[in-house]
Amino acid sequence: MKYLRLFIPLLFLFSCYSELDFDQAESIEIQPVVELDMLYFDIHKPNLIDNQGNFRNVIQDTVDFGIFEDGKVRDGFLKAEITVGYSNTFLRNFYTEYFFIDENEQAVDEGNFNIPPADSQQPEISGEYTFMFDKQNNPEFVNFRKIVIRVTVAPDTFPVEEKELHVQTKGTFYINTTIE
């Protein structure tokens, strides 16, 4: 019995030893998921009227984006989901375009969607739209350095109301990298 108590722990200690591969410890492959707030904006009545009091039907903004400036992130990029959440209290439709622009001012990808108008039955319309990008379908996507968002407002005959459009953009980036 005394020898059995000594033999069993030794059996467990050496039973797995021959299967260990210590060369694997030299590099580790990981797949982090990076979530980022990318941009947000609000449109109010003053945004829709120019200095002369005329209706502006196109509003545009640009934001710099530097996640792909890091070589490991750029090389390990697998896919991205860019989600645009919106809340609209205007009684008009908005056509929204996103352009992903490289350092040469060229679009490497783009997408668009409509934001429906509010009405008397639903005084606030909320929703979201998701753009999907992956390295396999568009390897040039990692070259974008800024996002241009263009919002085209459907013109109407009634005056511009005191309402608001809120838009918030978030990105989820899937990356594969090796740590050595």
Residue 128 C-beta-side C-alpha neighbours within 13 Å: 11
Position 1 confidence tier, pLDDT thresholds 50, 70, 90: low
Distances (CA, A) of 42 to 18, 96, 117: 63, 13, 15
Task: Flag whether 74 is in a domain.
Answer: yes
Query: Are residues 163 and 90 in contact, defined by beta-carbon separation less than 8 angstroms?
Result: yes
Task: Flag whether 4 is in a domain.
Answer: no
For residue 61, what are its two tokens? 């903004």
Position 48 confidence tier, pLDDT thresholds 50, 70, 90: confident
Task: Flag whether 19 is in a domain.
Answer: no
Query: Are residues 144 and 109 in contact, defined by beta-carbon separation less than 8 angstroms?
Result: yes
pLDDT tens profile 102-114: 999 999 999 999 9
Task: Flag whether 25 is in a domain.
Answer: no
Task: Flag whether 16 is in a domain.
Answer: no
Task: Flag whether 6 is in a domain.
Answer: no
Report the alpha-carbon distance of residue 81 to residue 67 in Å, rounded: 14
pTM score, whole prediction: 0.80
Q: 16 in the Ramachandran plot: left (φ > 0), alpha (ψ -120 to 50) or beta?
A: alpha
Task: Flag whether 28 is in a domain.
Answer: no
Average pLDDT, the chain: 86
Mean pLDDT (whole number) for 44-51:
87
Query: How many domains is the chain partitioned into structurally?
Result: 1
Report for 21-30, 33-42, 48-57: range of highest mean pLDDT: 33-42
Task: Flag whether 116 is in a domain.
Answer: yes
CATH number, domain of 74, equals: 2.60.120
Question: Which H or E run includes 4?
Answer: helix 2-15
By residue range, what is the domain housing residue 110?
A: 38-179
**Higher pLDDT pick, 25 / 92:** 92
Report the alpha-carbon distance of residue 87 to residue 3 in Å, rounded: 74
pLDDT tens profile 3-28: 555 555 554 555 555 565 656 567 78
**3-state SS, residue 93:** coil
**pLDDT the model gives residue 21:** 61
